[in-house]
Amino acid sequence: MRVGDMASLGTREGMRGRFNAGRPGFGRAGRWAEARTFHHDQLPPERVAAEREATISVCLPARDEATTIGPILDCLMPLVEQDVVDQVVVVADGTDGTHEVAARHGAEVHDQSELCSHLGPVQGKGDAMWRALTVLAGEVVCYLDADSEQFGSHFAAALAGAVAIPGPTAFAKAFYRRPFKIDEGTEQPTGGGRVTELTARPLLRAFYPELSEVRQPLAGEIAARRDLLEQIPFCLGYAVDIGVLIDAYELVGLEGIAQVDLDVRQNRHRPLEELGPMADAVLAGVTDRLERSGRLEPSPGHDPWPERPPLAGRYA
């Protein structure tokens, strides 16, 4: 079942059945989900190339992703030739040859720690994303994770297009079905995204109910106006995704946010012992923002989660 055709990115007819099945939306969040949720086939590369009115940079922060970065770039680099995007950048770290593989596949490659080198070694994903802004030239920036195994060009085209085609969207977040791979021969159709379902979404329902219908608040696939990103602090590490979402909401409101269904994403699943620190980071990203807004009293001696400050911009 396909989302109905839309006259523009600001309106929408219908909804994918599996998005709504068994979980009705309520209030403002439900109305937002009905109006601002799109399927990637509404934003094919041909439409984005014809209708976009902004330059687009695609960025992949990558740490030891040599096995997946090549196939991903094989999907992305043709978008440059098709005038869908203008720049594809890999900001790489690690020792497995990711830098060399990315360069062979035609991407612009930068070492993470050489960007803003006066700050010392890069400190996780959020720091890499923030530093990458110094070499990304597009008016729209699309960040994509570099460990996807089931990747398609629609990841970049649809997300970036949702922002680059004229309309109200300043920030677009991906969502998808996440299979859970038990081993090489066994895969469940759902079950991935454990920190999302057990930590991130409950926190949003409790403290930011307007964002409760954001299907994948921890998705690493986002697109945003560059001048919006320049007004947002980037949490270091895994707190970055939920922090950027909340800060974008505070700056542009629900009307400036959209979410795009990319169908399926398969990534490397982490063992349970690694999920606790990830959940801690997500919790810190939310509680720091509650403290900053005066909605939560900080504990004595509490240190905020480390972050990089906003660069600059127009959303003052």
Neighbours of 10 (CB within 10 A): 14
pLDDT for 129 equals 97
- Contacting residues for 1 by C-beta, under 8 A, at least 6 apart: 16, 17, 18
Q: How confident is the prediction along the chain (316 residues), in pLDDT tens digits per residue?
A: 233 334 344 433 333 333 333 344 569 999 999 999 999 999 999 999 999 999 999 999 999 999 999 999 999 999 999 999 999 999 999 999 999 999 999 999 999 999 999 999 999 999 999 999 999 999 999 999 998 878 999 999 999 999 999 999 999 999 998 665 555 555 554 444 679 999 999 999 999 999 999 999 999 999 999 999 999 999 998 999 999 999 999 999 999 999 999 998 765 556 667 788 999 999 999 999 999 999 999 888 889 999 999 998 555 4
pLDDT for 295 equals 96
**What are the Cα distances from residue 46, in Å, to 52, 158, 312?**
10, 10, 33
Which domains can be identified in the chain, with CATH numbers?
26-290 (3.90.550.10)
pLDDT for 257 equals 98
Please give the biggest Cα pair distance in the chain.
55
pTM summary value: 0.87
Q: How would DSSP label each residue in 73-123? A: HHHHHHHHHTTS-SEEEEEEESSSSHHHHHHHTT-EEEEGGGTTGGG-S--
Neighbours of 72 (CB within 10 A): 28
Alpha-carbon span 244 to 178, nearest angstrom: 22
pLDDT for 24 equals 44
Q: Which is nearest to 140 in space by CA: 229, 80, 62?
A: 229
Which tokens belong to 206? 């409790």
